[in-house]
């Protein structure tokens, strides 16, 4: 069964450093998403992406964040200058237009020290 | 706030019993979904109920939706130890964004 994959599974970085989290959505899906979950808290929507552009973004998704689909398979989330409060699990998801169920990757645990 | 609310925060029951989790929201929705998350793992979609539906079944799962009360419940019947996980409701708003509840941590005791 096709699945969303994410790399790395765990990323440790120092405050102020740039990180890129990578996702490979399910092929033929056209909508892509990033969410984050701070330990023990709710899942929070960051951004949705369709047709090579951002379709929606939350207040969390400020100028420090960017997304890109550099080729036909990868979908990346970049944090330019990480802060301690960026420490969280970051989940990528994808779905097919018209089908609202989203398929999630296993997540990347980001630890900012 | 558009955030969903879930209760209980934690639920511990004996294997074989039924587990009920509730979710409430504040805005109008397109649909409401339930996801499961095993400890430290990704989110797995369980079931979706549209705003014009009142009840839906999938195996041992039963979901109800009351749009007048802006609430939903997830019932897991005949629980098993493998059902131990966190369960999240997520409602899709008019912008097709998923807004998540805080989750219910379910523990099934063998």
pLDDT by residue (tens digit) across A26-74? Answer: 988 999 999 999 988 889 999 999 989 999 999 999 999 999 998 878 9
Contacts of B92 in chain A (CB under 8 A): 100
pLDDT by residue (tens digit) across B22-77? Answer: 999 998 999 999 999 998 778 999 999 999 999 999 999 999 999 999 999 999 99
B43 and A104: CB-CB below 8 Å? yes
* 3-class DSSP state of B93: coil
Report the alpha-carbon distance of residue B31 to residue B53 in Å, rounded: 9
- End-to-end, the C-alpha distance of chain B in Å comes to 38
Q: A91 near A32, Cβ under 8 Å?
A: no
B42 and A107: CB-CB below 8 Å? yes
Cis check: omega of the bond before B8, within 30 degrees of 0 = yes
Residues from A contacting B (CB-CB < 8 Å) are 4, 33, 35, 41-45, 48, 56, 58, 91, 93, 100-107
Q: B15 near B76, Cβ under 8 Å?
A: no
Q: B89 near B33, Cβ under 8 Å?
A: yes
């Amino acid at each position: 069964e096709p699945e969303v994959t994410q790399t790395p599974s765990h990323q440790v970085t120092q405050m102020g450093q740039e990180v890129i989290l990578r996702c490979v959505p399910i092929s033929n899906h056209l909508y892509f998403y990033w969410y984050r979950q701070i330990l023990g808290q709710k899942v929070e929507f960051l951004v949705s992406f369709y047709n090579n552009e951002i379709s929606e973004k939350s207040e969390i998704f400020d100028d420090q964040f960017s997304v890109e689909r550099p080729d036909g398979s990868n979908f990346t989330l970049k944090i330019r200058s990480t802060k301690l409060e960026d420490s969280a699990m970051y989940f990528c998801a994808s779905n097919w237009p018209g089908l609202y169920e989203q398929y999630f990757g296993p997540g990347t645990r980001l630890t900012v020290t | 706030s558009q955030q969903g609310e879930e209760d209980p925060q934690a639920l511990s029951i004996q294997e074989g019993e039924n587990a009920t989790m509730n979710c409430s929201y504040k805005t109008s929705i397109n649909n409401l979904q339930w996801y499961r998350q095993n400890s430290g793992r990704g989110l797995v979609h369980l079931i979706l109920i549209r705003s014009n539906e009142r009840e839906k079944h999938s195996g041992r799962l039963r979901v109800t939706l009351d749009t007048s009360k802006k609430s939903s419940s997830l019932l897991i019947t005949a629980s098993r130890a493998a059902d131990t996980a966190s369960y999240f409701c997520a409602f899709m708003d008019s912008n097709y964004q998923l807004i998540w509840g805080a989750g219910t941590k379910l523990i099934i005791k063998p």
